[in-house]
A and B are shown apart, each in its own frame.
Chain A
């Protein structure tokens, strides 16, 4: 091969191209390579040092949830034809992936009752930030009003991005577990670029989305809702609530927890924002012989064409994770999504009743909840969680980690993988842990 190239050695190839001063004249300081079975053993040992959702009965949610991932998804995601291609730049040999995107967009449009969906973005919180950027490009207004019920990571991502292009972020607090309607209305003015709420909000409460959207009606603001897709079989969809842009974390739709990613974010909107959408969009067309086919479309929005004038710098969808999303929704089916929603609604209610019946535990708010709820503990939350984990139950998320105003808050998530028996066990373990902590502190019975 060197002879064909016309060089004497591999070294010469590099010597002729890279200045000596910037060549690394030593080996990288990395461990030596390992055989496949040794790498497996090492990665398995690292996995074993984690407590996963298989090792404890978990009620931890707060943005990612331990829903069941059906086996068909593992099989389909593992297929070479879906796993190993690049972005479908050559549509003639990418019809599988492009049609999956088209079906995914259809499913998200159905779920959200919004006519336009892209082929997915990175994940939930950055999708919230991307929605605000869309608003900035659309109306140029200065302020974003965001509810404190929006996931703390979404609000953080929003602030990070806004520091670049220059949006001022105004936060509206919660009252009785939901966005304070008076403060919300008061915060929206003619210089408001976007308003953002989350449904259900971070405390698990179902917001009155229609009322929140209505409050922005006489302003230029783009109404953005960050939605949990799982309850959308039973919750009024954003498109029927006056929401302009619905985004959300797609992990719950057939994707693993994976310690936080990869998953996907969905991004749907009204027709008005079609040409302002970030990311890839698949569209239907015909080939020269008249066959139905699919292509990436509206690419004049995108960075590889528009460069500095693009609607976003995003060039990756989360195609494989979005495939899991549409397969999951297909697996559930039209009735299945509703049945799942009803099951979660009832089990979550049951769990809330069971926990708030415990000594030293009370509801943090009384709003309707569908998969997650918040309680207050009359005992140090971190210590209670540690006691529960020692007993094999992870009771949820310590709200004080993100909300200074709720140092005593515990956020509890219920998926269809947590049966009544699991919930009863949680009540036992949590009740005992709270009692033990109260005893230590010398309070209570």
Chain B
């Protein structure tokens, strides 16, 4: 591989919109000034002296710039995206169409509920569906993301204990947890206490028992966890946590493994957050928007964010803001309704059977890919970190590959880019050395999984011959490896004007 042959995209030096155009150009034509102009409406002291230096381009220039930029992105619609813990499943275009209907898209959040009955009915129906999927009776759709749902859940826990006159100080999280868990715990004013992982990849129950005490407010758990392992001790874990009066929180990032198969509420969880942008097809948008509704048990219900949706006997929907024990509001209005429309459309499209089928296929695909990699001899260099089977995702350790072939997980990931695949999540979970977290989702066909497995095997063979190829990859992407250290050392975070 030579770095001297450049692809057409590589030959294009990146130019920002601020470096294009010319003074006076614009796309916008302002509506007519149809009212009498009055001077002095805004005192000089409150006025801006120089307009912000926004771009000055025509509409065609604007369109070309952003369309060309889009071509410098890889996306789920173009290819396989097995990014573990992110559930990159297909985003049906029907959802975009229905979300854009003016009755949804141009509905003001403060419209009188009497004039927003369709929206409230949709939210009510979505709440009921999520409650059934979680096995917990009460839902708030308000949180804006998974991490926001976590915050809601831990604040709910705090309000719950405070209501009982208890001040607990610690929240337990396994060492496999998403980084958002400990970060959330700190934001909610608790101390993080880590719980270890046992040889099977589940919670170390003895460690949990030792750390669970009257000062513990909550255990935050993902099940299946970030190793793709369903914790078979879940009932015992729930007993230990409830035994000390703490709440059990379910991080729903991995719900895609268990829809219609096993329910957090039945496992003993008090609070669950959903990632509508993972299991329920809200497009990820290059990093947002998302939505992180929560479902809770009866005892947590009084503390739910306000407002809550109510339905009266005659079928009229309303918003109830008079909730004295509520933790309050996490954000403006009622949440990311546009995401609710999409996820509701998804649930109605699939129905009970379809959702279960999605989870079954996701688990089947993950196990098949794992088995394919094994039979291609990859397991030797990239062994499964824990267990034999997996749920919807699995973690390989790149440690033997690094030792025997002198390429790191990062190198494998970068070489995958040249083959047109998005790499798996790398270096997470933290307790696995050189981790690769692979989640194929139910979206993918057997052919795609086969092709991916072959490419991984081919990259390992290639490294056996010449490890520098992977170490210097990628070669074909719009830019090659970027100097992240320099970016952090002397941050340039805006265009110099």
Contact = CB atoms under 8 A, between A and B. Distances in A.
Contacts of B62: 72, 327, 330-331
Contact of B63 (A72, A339, A368): A72
Nearest to A349: B41
A428 interface: no
B66 A92 contact: no
B105 interface: yes
Given A27-B260, A76-B66, A236-B47, A294 B14 contact: yes
A316 B287 contact: yes
Given A92-B480, A164-B155, A36 B332 contact: no
A140 to B, nearest CB: 13
Given A163-B158, A420-B35, A50 B115 contact: yes
Interface in B155-191: 155, 158-159, 178-180, 182-189
Contacts of A105: 493-494
B430 to A, nearest CB: 9
Contact of B183 (A206, A308, A340, A385): A308
Interface in B27-53: 27-28, 30-31, 33-38, 41-43, 45-49, 51-53
A233 B334 CA distance: 30
B347 interface: yes
Interface string B274-314: 00000000011111111100000000000001000000000
Nearest to A329: B54
B104 A258 contact: yes
Contacts of B230: 17-18
A126 B184 CA distance: 14
A166 B158 CA distance: 12
A295 B484 contact: yes
A442 interface: no
Contacts of B135: 24
Interface residues of A, number: 201
Interface in A361-380: 368, 370
A408 interface: no
A237 B334 contact: no
Interface residues of B, number: 195
A84 B283 contact: yes
B286 A86 contact: yes
Nearest to B357: A33
Interface stretch (B141-149, B241-249, B454-462): B141-149
A345 B288 contact: no
Interface stretch (B72-80, B378-386, B399-407): B72-80
A312 B183 contact: yes
A34 interface: yes
Contacts of A312: 183, 187
A82 to B, nearest CB: 6
A109 B480 contact: no
B25 interface: yes
Contacts of B345: 39, 43
A286 B425 CA distance: 23
A283 B189 contact: no
Interface in B408-426: 413-414, 417, 422-423, 425
A92 B474 contact: yes
A334 B53 contact: yes
A234 B335 contact: no
B183 A295 contact: no
A419 to B, nearest CB: 6
A78 B97 CA distance: 10
28 contacts: A5-B389, A7-B367, A30-B351, A40-B98, A64-B110, A66-B108, A72-B27, A74-B100, A82-B285, A83-B77, A90-B414, A92-B481, A99-B72, A109-B494, A157-B330, A159-B328, A236-B45, A237-B48, A281-B491, A309-B186, A315-B146, A316-B147, A319-B285, A319-B288, A330-B27, A332-B54, A334-B52, A394-B111
Given A236-B47, A261-B332, 18 more contacts: A17-B391, A18-B232, A31-B348, A46-B103, A47-B118, A83-B286, A84-B76, A86-B76, A92-B479, A94-B74, A100-B66, A103-B16, A156-B328, A164-B154, A261-B336, A284-B487, A288-B483, A316-B145
